[in-house]
Amino acid sequence: MKNNPNILLILTDDLGFSDLSSYGGEISTPNLDQLANNGLRFTQFYNSARCCPSRASLLTGLYPHQAGIGEMTEDRETPGYRGYLKNQCVTLAEVLKEGGYHTYLSGKWHVGERMPTERGFDDFYGLLGGFASFWDKKNYVRLPEGRPERSYSDGEFYATDAITDHALDFIEESRSDEYPYFLYLSYNAPHFPLQAPKEDILKYEKIYEKGWDKIREERLERMKQLQTVDEDMQLTPRSEYWDRDRNISGVNPAWESIDPDRKKDLIRRMAIYAAMVDRMDQNVGRVIENLRDHNELDHTLILFCSDNGACAEWDPWGFDDWITTSNFLHRKEDLDRMGGPESYHSYGSGWANACSTPFRMYKHYSHEGGISTPLIAHWPEEVKRRGEIEHYSGHFIDFMATFIDITGTSYPDEFKGHKILPMEGRSLMPAFKGEPTEPRILCFEHEDHCAIRDGEWKLVKIKEKDWELYNMNNDRTEMNNLANEYPELVEQMKQKWGDWAARTDVYPRSKVN
């Protein structure tokens, strides 16, 4: 047992595909870059388009509807949309705990009413729901109740720091015996409300004065240099957006067309977002340093990823009130208060478009900008491809199979008296080692935004629109719709998607023609 690796699965919330500097972004992320340069970067790894479904897939090795969370945490009383993890699935924590692992979660849960300590985690600290102020410690809880918890004086608490504090405490606790640990370090940054320490925000305000059009162009050029995208990849046009009720839609405007006061407001929003990513990276650095100091870094599998694409909610200006989605234009001295404890912001679809560079669309959608995540794999004892790029098409459903593969634990047919659905994923170990991998089909659905990836082909649709067909080998930016040229292939892939949807409980609530 003591020879099994520790496993650190780091999930960030609403991070765009190109935000990390190791993927082409201008945000300073030296600690994650260090993991990337000494590990492996995946370029075609997928999540499930939104926080709750992605977390369900990540935790269970199933498609989100099979686990009961096809949408969010509201119970719609159909099998795929119960809003909590059903008894027909097991979590990574439950499986690894049976295999002798300590199991810890520090960060965001957001997969329903059953507590993480009821689904296999020995210890939890963090946020049970979806989002809350980063400055208010009352939203963050310790489970089981009565376990040791950090205390913070007034003005000292910041969620990203506190989540890391407790993660380090959990790691230290695990050192009291010979058993390995599984730590799910689930940051809620950079999800709204956009809030960050002022010293981190100030690093970025000048950077974003150039606006989202220039940022997109510069990111794409760096991505080509880093080889995270093909050398001939073209930048997509500015993406469409819809409001929350899908009554209002449009296309993100050119930066130069925006009023100067509005630009200042938007620059501040993006600077806060970048500061949140920067602060998250600083905290990842704290964990890396701790593992290195204890000679555990080489023996720990570290995976880093994002739960969905960048968050466009709900228009180019962003919102300042979650309930009404209202936007307020901040001017003069009010700009300086943005990001502080009394503020509440999102950054809107224009900046989300930039964070998804070079892809179309964002969180919620099954186009590449919505479902593509950076994935960094760092495990010096086993992942020898230092600094390499991997184009394997993987998915969050693969984590369960991977962890079972590397630990020798067993995936159960039954658990606590319930029959368990078989795993959907595949081990990532062949991809880690650069070995040949078999072709596969991956499917997606969230809020009637759907897709199927079958080898080089992808069929995808936005809720109100027709299916579109793209060849991923030469058009991953989904700009050349081939549906009219290959109608038979479209029908074949629609049938495969429909068969998957019926099998995985996407029906009866969602049925797409």
Say what the pLDDT of residue 2 is. Answer: 61
State pLDDT tens for residues 362-387: 999 999 999 999 999 999 999 999 99
Q: What is the mean pLDDT of residues 141-151?
A: 94
Nearest to 355 by CA among 347, 364, 344: 347
pLDDT tens-digit map of 324-335:
999 999 999 999
Would you call 496 exposed, middle or buried from its count of C-beta atoms within 10 A (0-12, 13-18, 19+)?
middle
pLDDT in tens, 116-126: 999 999 999 99
pLDDT (0 to 100) of residue 217:
98
pLDDT tens figures, 25-47? 999 999 999 999 999 999 999 99
Question: Tell me, what DSSP letter sits at residue 322?
Answer: T
Q: What is the mean pLDDT of residues 4-30?
A: 98
Supply 58's token pair. 């990540």
Pairwise CA distance, residues 196 & 343, whole Å: 10
How many other C-beta atoms can be found within 10 angstroms of the C-beta atom of residue 177? 10
C-alpha–C-alpha distance, residues 38 and 383, integer Å = 9
Q: Does the active-site annotation cover 443?
A: no
- Return the H-helix or E-strand segment holding 457: strand 457-461
What's the CA gap between 141 and 150, in Å, rounded?
11
Query: What is the four-CA torsion angle of 285, 291, 297, 300, rounded to 10 degrees?
Result: -100
Rounded distance between C-alpha atoms, residue 52 and residue 83, angstroms: 9
Neighbouring CB atoms inside 10 A of 213's CB total: 18
Locate the DSSP E strands across 165-317: 181-186, 240-242, 249-251, 300-306
Q: Residue 306 and residue 14: Cα distance in Å, rounded?
A: 6
Q: Does pTM top 0.95 for this prediction? A: yes
Task: Pick the closest to residue 190 from 276, 301, 266 (CA basis).
Answer: 276
- The question of whether 102 is a catalytic residue gets the answer no
| 297-315 tens-digit pLDDT | 999 999 999 999 999 999 9
Question: Concatenated DSSP letters for 10-69?
Answer: EEESS--TT-SGGGT-SS--HHHHHHHHTSEEEEEEE--SSHHHHHHHHHHSS-HHHHTB
Using only C-alpha atoms, the chain has a radius of gyration, in whole angstroms, of: 21
Max distance between CA atoms of the chain, in angstroms, equals 64
- DSSP of 402-442: HHHHHH-----SEETTEE-PPP----SHHHHHT------EE
Choice among 65, 102, 110, 449 that is catalytic: 110
| 137: three-class secondary structure by DSSP | helix
Q: Which residues of 299-324 are buried (b: 16+ CB within 10 A; e: fewer)?
A: bbbbbbbbbbbbbbbbbbbbbbeeee
Phi, psi of 441 (to 5 degrees): -115, 135
What per-residue confidence (pLDDT) applies to 508? 85
Report pLDDT for 137.
95
The predicted-structure confidence for 210-265, as pLDDT tens digits, reads as follows: 999 999 999 999 999 999 999 999 999 999 999 999 999 999 999 999 999 999 99
The answer on pLDDT for 513 being more than 90 is: no
Domains of the chain with bracketed CATH:
6-503 (3.40.720.10)
